[in-house]
Structure 1
Amino acid sequence: MKMHSAWLASALLVLPVAATPALGGQSATRGGQPADALAANLALPFASDLTGARRVPIFAWIVDQAGSRNVWIGGPDIPAHARTTYAGDEGIEISEPQLSQDGRRLLFVRGGDAEFPEASAPNTGIAPEAPEQAVFVADVAGSQPPVKVGLGHGAAFSPDGARIAYTRKGEIWLWSGDAAARRLATVAGSVEDLQWSPDGRQLLFTEQRKGHSFIALLDVERRAIRYLGPTLGQSSDPIFSPDARQVAFIQYRDPPADLKDSTASFWSVRVADVADGAVRTIWSAPSGEGGQFAGTRGRNLFWTASGDLLLPWERTGWMHIYAVPAATGGAPRDLTPDANEVENFTPAPDGKAIVYAANAGNLDARQLWRTAIAGGKPTRLTQDDAFVFRPVFGGDRLAATATDAQQPAHMVLVEGMKPLGPVAIASTYSKPDTIVFTAADGVQIHGQLFRAKGPAPHPALIFVHGGPRRQMLPGFNPMHYYSNAYVRNQQFAALGYTVLSVNYRSGTNYGRAFREAPETGRGGASEYRDVLAGGQWLAKQPDVDPKRIGIWGGSWGGYLTALALARNSDLFAAGADFHGVHTLVRSGDPSLSPDAELKARELQWQSSPMGSIARWRSPVLIVHGDDDKNVDHDQSLLLARELTARGVPFEELSLPNERHEFFRYGDWLASYRATEAFFARTLKSGK
């Protein structure tokens, strides 16, 4: 349930006493021991969404501290400071920060849901009316309050910084500052990746429609739209050539359900001429490994000043970055042959090199590397004492997001790893151990072990992440959801639980074969073998009580938690299921015959917690926000009904108006406290 506003107001008056010192690099503790460690460490400032000005070394990012979100500005010569002054745990997101090329102006979106910007407006703070989603602009150097440009999202500065284009509900709007914004166009789908041409005359965007997407150009002066090379598939990552005369984009299709492992060629890179719309295919993925498109966690196509198109490809079974000459095409050149898995990348401002985040040499790490596009040995830019993600240039200076075992996500200048702003510290946290164990079918699984404090034997927990396209590391995560989960696992260890976080198959950063492992999810839940093996590994540890092993996770992790309790209540004595999926059965796939569809639906049922619910005996805590756009709240309504009918004990925490990744700090805290109390009753007491 929601916490009462009077309680929350009281809590927020106390929290800054513990949290504020951490901004200066101090521990969120008193006398070496946390006054309320869970509340204090969840309230530590978390930085995200780093962006840089194109021509000058100025950066902007978002800081969330106990649910209060603000945009920060900083750089090598600019002391970091909050440019906005929003306060309170209102459940209102800030997203999409952007700087003009000269670094003088700042754009951001406040309100709405950054993951589902076109969906109904969230109202997680239960205000009398849902907060609006609006684009704001501010002078970087000033102190005046930001100016509301208009309702919408996806904003982009024109090259000269004088105009702002943005979108809302399939409309494209233009704001010039000297008058109210005006609507330029309305399209049938939703507008994504809106960007200006280098000459400021046209807007390029992806229009997402039902089951397919197009690349489109809008002439701003004439208000005329053209589609470039529309196909029977998806088109993505459009990018202008440096001279604005051409547009490159990725075109791809997904394989059919009954041939999902096909090695046919499903994607290509195409170039369209802006003047006449003529399209040519620069390169097509050959059949075989990498024949299906998979992208990085960022932009997937760049056109450099040196005339190269940069793109990701899994030809080796790992995500590498390749260069293809834009003028002639030809065989791609692997720029990152030793990278293992590249998570994201960006070209250097001079177009002669790329910087990328990867786990080269250590699958359970993340560091930055630089390599010349012309060829040569990559240079490592960061060291093993931190995890470094998402490189961003501001002018010719490089910044990134960094974490470690004690410091949540913060922004650094990569040269010297100098923090761009204050850094929070959870000083009592120890780095989890990285372990490898083997599932019953021989697959090797990586995980992190949080060792329990206090006397043995300990109760123990398996933690399963969501996604499932995720990887947990032995430190704070750069995603807010999993940064919070890391805090929860550390606090469980402090309370005497041994916690094993399992990077099960279908997750990322262990290669394509691991990510696309056969029979996962609806196809047989093979990833559960890894969860089960983790529980069995814990049961064999001499300091763990094998009768007091629980499991917890959210989203796909909630699904695996429920599946564990349904299939193996003999091993898992209790579980906390955050917004999990409980039935995987989908409506018919038109590519399947009627007989094949029946077989597929039966397999989906057997892969679901509902398929084994008759064997469920262990108690569970069910947590779900009822405005969840990722996993329908009905999934938890279904589970509560079925457990009630079978006499299986459960506790429930329904969060009115809350989304999948809780927007309010208060709801994270309430959920995590409920989880702690639940496991204290079901595991720690030994009952």
Structure 2
Amino acid sequence: MIKYFLLFTFLFSSFSAQANKLINDDSVSNQTNCFSSIFADYDTWHKFMEEKYRKKLKIEHKFNKALSQFDATFGTEKFNHFKANLSCSTFRYTVNNTEVMGYVIKPKEPEAKLPVLIYNRGGNGNFGSVVFGTMMYELFPIVEQGFVIIGSQYRGVHVKQPSAKDEFGGKDVSDVIALLDLIPNIKGADPQRIGMYGGSRGGMQTHLAMKQASGIKAIATIAGVSDLQQGLLERPEMENVYKKRIPYYGLKKDTELSKRSVINWVNDLSPNVPILLIHGTEDKRVAADQSIVLADALTKYDIPHKLVLYSDDHYLRNSKDKVNLELVNWFQKYL
């Protein structure tokens, strides 16, 4: 039922009031408090979701199950805890004349400057964009352990600019790299301690960004894609995404898939940036072999890494606490 709250929880910036600026940078605009409008309190958010579920789910027991799952995943106590302890805002920034949506989350009153994690979302286009529910479920628990998280929605997502399109590892990689310039201007962020991680497509995005970025001390991928050509054999329906997103895909299919696949350039990875690989062995969307084979290649080229496998699916819901602990320990060790 997680997909229901992600589907129905709209991007909150369109509803919210302006927040105190978390990023002191004139190139950043529309900084907007996450905890406002329908997300100002849990009851308002719950009512909003209840109305959405009621319209979507006409069978009573399905409606009740969805609402029950929503409360079990979030709940008043968790919501109030995060609201009291975290600051969060969405914002707009420009990359090569292209407007992009981003978000930043941090503890409210850090005693010292905190390490920063750049988070790369999965999905493509609007599907998989980081909405409030995603933040609370995926990111808030990491932030409260003493990190600042900043991320991009990628170009063409929640911004009306017809020329800007998510290219699934093309120009959108620049949207990730541009975040590095904003980090020194985040209150409480330590620009000398930066890590990066991503899930699913975000794993690919992380490796692609690392080809151009500098100053990243450690990375992690969760159910990450390392070989798009092999992945296409395992999940042929992904070709519909590639045809829609990747420029010139019909003319240069093998070239475009190959250059997005880290397995083809493992020998170019830095031996000074350790890599954490997390995957579920029951993953039907991105096979666990995508991480297992990559781990073998990392061993071959003496790239420091750790592979962690769980008996779980693509979303690792049953292992969420363990996954979060692995991430926190990894970045606390290396940042």
**So what's the TM-score if we normalise by structure 2?**
0.69
Equivalent-residue separation in structure 2 for 1:678 and 1:572 (angstroms) = 14
Q: CA deviation at 1:596?
A: 8.2
Q: Match of 2:129, as an amino acid?
A: Q
Task: Give yes or no for contact 1:505–1:530 (8 Å, CA) kept in 2.
Answer: yes
In 2 relative to 1, CA 462–49 (structure 1 residues): closer, same or farther, beyond 3 Å? closer
Residue 225 of structure 2 is aligned to residue 584 of structure 1? no
Q: Which residue number in structure 1 is paired with residue 118 of structure 2?
A: 462
SS of the equivalent of 2:122 reads coil
Q: CA deviation at 1:629?
A: 0.3
SS of the equivalent of 1:674 reads helix
Equivalent-residue separation in structure 2 for 1:463 and 1:596 (angstroms) = 27
Match for residue 510 of structure 1 among 159, 178, 184: 159
Structure with greater Cα Rg: 1
SS of the equivalent of 1:628 reads coil
Q: CA deviation at 1:483?
A: 4.5
Task: Give yes or no for contact 1:363–1:510 (8 Å, CA) kept in 2.
Answer: no
Q: CA deviation at 1:638?
A: 2.4
Equivalent-residue separation in structure 2 for 1:457 and 1:445 (angstroms) = 26
Q: CA deviation at 1:461?
A: 0.6
In 2 relative to 1, CA 629–543 (structure 1 residues): closer, same or farther, beyond 3 Å? same
Q: Which residue number in structure 2 is paired with residue 528 of structure 1?
A: 173
Q: Which residue number in structure 2 is paired with residue 499 of structure 1?
A: 149
Q: Match of 1:677, as an amino acid?
A: N
SS of the equivalent of 2:54 reads strand
Once the two structures are superposed, the pairs formed by residues 239-318 of structure 1 within 5 Å of their partners are: none
Highest relative contact order (Cα 8 Å, sep 6+), 1 or 2? 2
Q: CA deviation at 1:498?
A: 1.3
In 2 relative to 1, CA 363–510 (structure 1 residues): closer, same or farther, beyond 3 Å? farther
SS of the equivalent of 2:296 reads helix
Q: Which residue number in structure 1 is paired with residue 30 of structure 2?
A: none
Q: Match of 2:133, as an amino acid?
A: F
Q: Which residue number in structure 2 is paired with residue 661 of structure 1?
A: 315
Q: Match of 2:91, as an amino acid?
A: I
In 2 relative to 1, CA 660–435 (structure 1 residues): closer, same or farther, beyond 3 Å? same
Equivalent-residue separation in structure 2 for 1:400 and 1:472 (angstroms) = 25
Q: Which residue number in structure 2 is paired with residue 672 of structure 1?
A: 324
Q: Which residue number in structure 1 is paired with residue 294 of structure 2?
A: 639
Structure 1 unpaired stretches of 5+? 1-45, 51-295, 298-342, 344-356, 366-381, 412-421
Q: CA deviation at 1:631?
A: 0.5
SS of the equivalent of 2:80 reads coil
Structure 2 unpaired stretches of 5+? 17-36
Q: Which residue number in structure 1 is paired with residue 333 of structure 2?
A: 681
Task: Give yes or no for contact 1:555–1:581 (8 Å, CA) kept in 2.
Answer: yes
Q: CA deviation at 1:602?
A: 1.3
SS of the equivalent of 1:560 reads helix
Q: Which residue number in structure 1 is paired with residue 34 of structure 2?
A: none
Q: CA deviation at 1:676?
A: 0.8
Equivalent-residue separation in structure 1 for 2:116 and 2:128 (angstroms) = 23
Q: Match of 1:363, as an amino acid?
A: S
Once the two structures are superposed, the pairs formed by residues 180-259 of structure 1 within 5 Å of their partners are: none
SS of the equivalent of 1:427 reads helix
Equivalent-residue separation in structure 2 for 1:619 and 1:533 (angstroms) = 22
Q: CA deviation at 1:623?
A: 0.2
Q: CA deviation at 1:445?
A: 2.0
Residue 224 of structure 2 is aligned to residue 575 of structure 1? no
Equivalent-residue separation in structure 2 for 1:600 and 1:48 (angstroms) = 31
Q: Match of 1:471, as an amino acid?
A: S
Once the two structures are superposed, the pairs formed by residues 361-400 of structure 1 within 5 Å of their partners are: 362-363=13-14, 383=38, 385=40, 386-387=44-45, 388-389=48-49, 390-393=52-55
Equivalent-residue separation in structure 2 for 1:579 and 1:525 (angstroms) = 20
Q: CA deviation at 1:485?
A: 0.6
Q: Match of 2:181, as an amino acid?
A: Q
Cα-to-partner distance string for 1:129-172 (whole Å, 9 max, x where unaligned): xxxxxxxxxxxxxxxxxxxxxxxxxxxxxxxxxxxxxxxxxxxx
Residue 287 of structure 2 is aligned to residue 629 of structure 1? no
Residue 202 of structure 2 is aligned to residue 564 of structure 1? no
SS of the equivalent of 2:14 reads coil
Match for residue 425 of structure 1 among 78, 95, 101: 78
Equivalent-residue separation in structure 1 for 2:310 and 2:249 (angstroms) = 39
Q: Which residue number in structure 2 is paired with residue 615 of structure 1?
A: 268
In 2 relative to 1, CA 562–400 (structure 1 residues): closer, same or farther, beyond 3 Å? farther
Equivalent-residue separation in structure 2 for 1:578 and 1:495 (angstroms) = 19
Q: Which residue number in structure 2 is paired with residue 606 of structure 1?
A: 259
Q: Which residue number in structure 2 is paired with residue 236 of structure 1?
A: none
Q: Which residue number in structure 2 is paired with residue 476 of structure 1?
A: 133
Q: CA deviation at 1:495?
A: 3.1
Equivalent-residue separation in structure 2 for 1:502 and 1:543 (angstroms) = 19
Q: CA deviation at 1:566?
A: 4.2
**So what's the TM-score if we normalise by structure 1?**
0.36
Cα-to-partner distance string for 1:642-661 (whole Å, 9 max, x where unaligned): 211221111110123x2111
Once the two structures are superposed, the pairs formed by residues 12-91 of structure 1 within 5 Å of their partners are: none
Task: Give yes or no for contact 2:199–2:223 (8 Å, CA) kept in 1.
Answer: yes
In 2 relative to 1, CA 680–663 (structure 1 residues): closer, same or farther, beyond 3 Å? closer
Equivalent-residue separation in structure 2 for 1:438 and 1:671 (angstroms) = 33
Equivalent-residue separation in structure 2 for 1:383 and 1:487 (angstroms) = 18
Once the two structures are superposed, the pairs formed by residues 125-136 of structure 1 within 5 Å of their partners are: none
Q: CA deviation at 1:533?
A: 1.0
Normalized per residue, which structure has more helix? 2
Normalized per residue, which structure has more strand? 1
Q: Match of 2:176, as an amino acid?
A: V
Cα-to-partner distance string for 1:16-64 (whole Å, 9 max, x where unaligned): xxxxxxxxxxxxxxxxxxxxxxxxxxxxxx98869xxxxxxxxxxxxxx
SS of the equivalent of 1:636 reads helix
SS of the equivalent of 2:192 reads strand
Residue 87 of structure 2 is aligned to residue 442 of structure 1? no
Q: CA deviation at 1:401?
A: 11
In 2 relative to 1, CA 680–364 (structure 1 residues): closer, same or farther, beyond 3 Å? farther
Residue identity over aligned pairs, in percent, reads 20
Residue 306 of structure 2 is aligned to residue 651 of structure 1? yes
